[in-house]
Amino acid sequence: MSPALILAAIGAYFAILLLIAWITSRKASSQGYYLGNKQSPWYAVAFGLIADSLSGVTFISVPGDVGKTQFSYLQLALGYIAGNFIIATVLLPLYYRMNLVSIYGFLKDRFGPMAQTTGACFFLLSRLLGAAARLYLTVSVLQAFVLDAWGIPFWVGVACIIALILLYTFRGGIKTLVWTDTFQSAFLLIGVGLSIAAVAAQMDLDFPGLWRLLADSPHTQVFFWDWKSKDFFWKQFLSGAFIAVVMSGLDQNSMQKNLSCPNLRDAQKNFYCFGIVIAAVNALFLGLGALLYEYAQRHGIPIPARTDHLFPMLALQHLGPLAALAFVVGLTAATFSSADAVLTTLTTSLYVDILKLDPMDESRRALWRRRLIHGSFALLLLLVILVFRLYSNSSAIQLVLKLATYTYGPLLGLFFFGMCCKLRPKDRLIPAVCLLSPLACWILEQNSGNWLGGYRFGFELLMLNGLLTAVMLLLLPRNPVTSSPPTL
């Protein structure tokens, strides 16, 4: 598939996004930007969360990572089901009862304004780095297989994509994103489905043959029982549950869309459905990865040093027009879904949690202030992606999840302590605790091999990070108890 056809497909896709944005953002108010006027259908939010959660990391990095970690990632995905159940039954009722625009308002109510600011800062750091890693991956693939052929520099490609995202998120916010993400989820799933069909056709496999191939493949081991390994089942499963809780339930990016549903019951339906669907979709991506490795082995195709490039290399250079089209469709959906909601939710958190401004202010000054923040985050996202370009050489899925263990751990500790304990630590000391806990975890991870008899930390470091935060909060000097924690 030529670079010109690829860019034409991306252009057509973007034109549809602009049309959706134009329809949904007409007469958009602050209530529409932040909460979708509390009219978002639960099924649209739930389906749209697929693209928001998977993005280009899943589309490219999960299939490529099969060669190194086999199907161990599915253990993590099974944990997501448990995590989403916790979100639906514990966190969503709390957020709806408090009628929050930003979920970090809970920390202000429970501890004080410094805790709210600290939680928001960790969210801003987490989501900015995570969105940059995801968008960096997809743009680097476009760079290697499309833009390099035309001599277009990497920074120009990134800047153009972020500018396109700005065009359709600038006015409508959540009101627009609920529907653009629904559209992008559909094309992401179409992309992976067509990709599996294209590889199977190239290998002359019907469905029973495809199933037998995967069952016999050395790349499809799911469960690992060596307790010292980072792939040990209970490490992965429990980590998956906690990753779902922190990266969805304690994350403004996911929660802001769910808070736009008319009522709690509808928002809960999202997560009951989403946990099961996301595990099934991840299984599809892992199956695609195993097929790609089998195809490469049969045809004597060398595996790229950077396994993130395996899928694009085979799709665009070896598997024919159907696979190339499927890859471009899926990658385009992943590229735009990687960052569009982030700009809106980062704007919300900075506006509400750090600047402490009224999100429902409809004045002209408030509108321009919000748009300035929105545009500034787009520029900051560009700068962070360029830094990733200089220093990142690891698998993107591993990078994103590793960042989560350090940056979401303090949020986990703050929310857990706030909901389960009546004590009220001094608010001004909370930022120090939230910095010390990730630092202690980093030191422990670097030395675990020597200190713990060869034990290697995986994503369970997130749970340890949250636990250390909660323990240190317990040890802080306290203010008198003025209110009980919200009941679970």
What pLDDT sits at residue 304? 83
- CA distances to 110, 158, 394, 416 from 115, rounded to whole Å, are 9, 34, 33, 13
> What's the pTM value of the predicted model, to 2 decimals?
0.78
Q: Which amino acid is at 326?
A: A
**At the topology level of CATH, where does 3-404 sit?**
Sodium/glucose cotransporter (1.20.1730)
| Dihedral angle computed from the Cα positions of residues 303, 308, 310 and 313, in that order, rounded to the nearest 10 degrees | -120
Per-residue pLDDT of the chain (488 residues; tens, 9 = 90+): 666 777 777 778 888 888 887 787 766 667 767 776 677 887 788 787 777 776 666 677 788 888 888 888 889 889 989 998 999 999 999 999 998 888 999 999 999 999 999 999 998 988 888 788 778 877 877 787 778 878 888 889 889 888 888 877 766 677 777 788 888 888 888 888 888 888 888 888 888 888 888 888 888 888 888 877 777 888 889 888 888 888 788 888 778 888 888 889 988 888 888 878 888 888 888 888 888 888 888 888 888 877 777 888 888 888 888 778 778 777 777 767 766 778 888 888 898 899 888 888 878 888 888 889 988 999 999 998 888 787 665 555 556 667 777 888 899 899 999 998 888 999 999 999 999 999 998 888 888 777 877 777 766 788 889 999 999 999 988 776 555 555 44
pLDDT of residue 414: 93
Q: Where in the chain are the domains?
A: 3-404
Nearest to 116 by CA among 108, 126, 128, 127: 108
With CA atoms as reference, report the closest residue to 261 among 452, 448, 49.
49
pLDDT of residue 469: 94
Find residue 478's DSSP bridge partners.
425
CA 301 distance to own-chain centroid: 32
CA dist 379 and 126 (Å) reads 17
Inter-residue contact 58 to 401 (CB < 8 Å): no
Backbone angles phi, psi at 424, to 5 degrees: -125, 90
50 contacts 117 by C-beta, under 8 angstroms: no
Q: Angle at CA 441, nearest 5°, toward 73 and 471?
A: 110
Q: What is the pLDDT of residue 364?
A: 84
Query: Can you give the pLDDT at residue 308?
Result: 75
Alpha carbon distances (Å) from 80 to 62, 73, 91, 187, 300: 16, 11, 15, 23, 36
User: Cβ contacts of residue 329 below 8 Å, gap of 6+?
Assistant: 9, 13, 187, 190, 191, 194
- CA dihedral defined by 391, 397, 400, 406, rounded to 10 degrees? -110
